[in-house]
Structure 1
């Protein structure tokens, strides 16, 4: 876990969370969570905000009650700047824009969210960073913090996040799908995906510290996302 630490002081810790790890314990309490791991090392920590289990990237936890109140209030008052990056299917019609669509819980399928007029106000800004044709590398700024917000909003405009099992096709990225001369290595019976998890990463966080000074944090992209982007860039240059 030492390699995941982005920033740490006496008030809070910022972690580059891997995909597939819960931020905090779920109701079942069976799977390990980042919070539990931190508490084993640092003692009691306070939850400030959360990331989806399958989303990687920047998340902070407070070390004391004062810091917990300070940072939680910033998130609630929408004074933090939260930037995500991700790979989506296809290319958005508009390369830059905002999605202002209310999000509510799906009453039929538990754990799923949906666009609905009875939902909570939800605002996402998006911008195309690079168009690869079959996929696009995007940047998102969320002004609200609804469950699955980016995933639901990108589905709404017809460009779901890659490998999204809930709101997209859930298909992994295979090198053979866009590399014409792809060959399996001799020891492999079947192709392993170059990316097999939700292609969404919490990239930057801007907030005010306890002393009022601006803190800007950034979580480097994980290896799987970097490798996928490298291969897509190679394909684009051909």
Structure 2
């Protein structure tokens, strides 16, 4: 993977990239042989500063600072909730009502390491959601997080009973197959086994809204990746919906 291929926006102070799903943001503490975006950026730039993180299996926008002054500024911007963060995701089933907020504190699971749960003893967490398109089996949802808790969107969607598609930790890791979407689906004559349309967490960091150190406003966007878009396209085709996605 070439860093230049995933850069969305760059200035002397920051670089915003479209992180692929499956790539760590920072090195794994227990296995430093695993590739991380931070490691790739250090090879590319020499010096780089981590400001925030995305889960390994979440794709989309992530900002790194290129100097210490920018690191301090953008870290405070994110921590002070002065960055608007929008995601898109496919959730299981139909969300009713189609718009709403989840205001549920989140804490670490008392038994399962690396898992989070909603609990009144946890840290406050607020997520807004809006259904963009509903297809019965799945819904395409726009989400805004006002806090930055670990696995926040995934935990809050599970709390609503509509976990993110292909979420092994909070839902099911079952991939999305065309045969589950298309009626009378048949394998091609030369195809022995159906390949999934989507086999990773269906969550994408879509937009960042913020002001830089000079006060200039930035709205940065990364379109849905091909695998999630392929599922949405097939859902539209096979549920009678063919309208363009408007957000």
- TM-score when scaled to structure 1? 0.98
CA offsets 1:134-189 (integer angstroms, 9 cap, x no match) = 10000000000000000000000100000000000111100001212322223332
Give me the whole-angstrom Cα distance separating, in 1, the residues matched to 2:58 and 2:130.
19
2 CA distance for matches of 1:51 and 1:137?
A: 20
Q: Return the alpha-carbon distance in structure 2 between the equivalents of residues 178 and 37 of structure 1.
A: 38
Structure 2 residue corresponding to 1:33, chosen from 29, 32, 36? 36
Q: Partner residue of 1:17?
A: 19
- CA distance in 2 between counterparts of 1:187 and 1:222 reads 28
2:62 pairs with one of 35, 59, 63: 59
User: Could you say what secondary structure the match of 1:237 adopts?
Assistant: coil
Root-mean-square deviation (CA, aligned residues, Å) is 1.0
* 1:194 matched to 2:197: yes
SS of 2:185's partner is coil
1:2 partner SS: helix
In structure 2, what is the equivalent of residue 7 of structure 1?
9
Structure 1 segments of 4+ aligned residues over 4 angstroms from their partners: none
Which residue is equivalent to 1:124? 127
Q: What is the CA–CA distance in structure 2 between the aligned matches of 1:2 and 1:221, rounded to whole Å?
A: 19
CA distance in 2, matches of 1:220, 1:129: 15
**Match of 2:174?**
171
Any residues of structure 2 matched to 1:1-238 within 5 Å, and which? 1-28=3-30, 29-237=32-240
> What secondary structure does 1:194 align onto?
coil
What is the aligned length? 238
Cα deviations across residues 191-210 of structure 1 (Å, max 9, x unaligned)? 11001100000000001111
Query: What is residue 244 of structure 2 aligned with on the other side?
Result: none
CA distance in structure 1 between the aligned counterparts of 2:181 and 2:190, rounded to whole angstroms? 22
Gaps of 5+ in 1: none
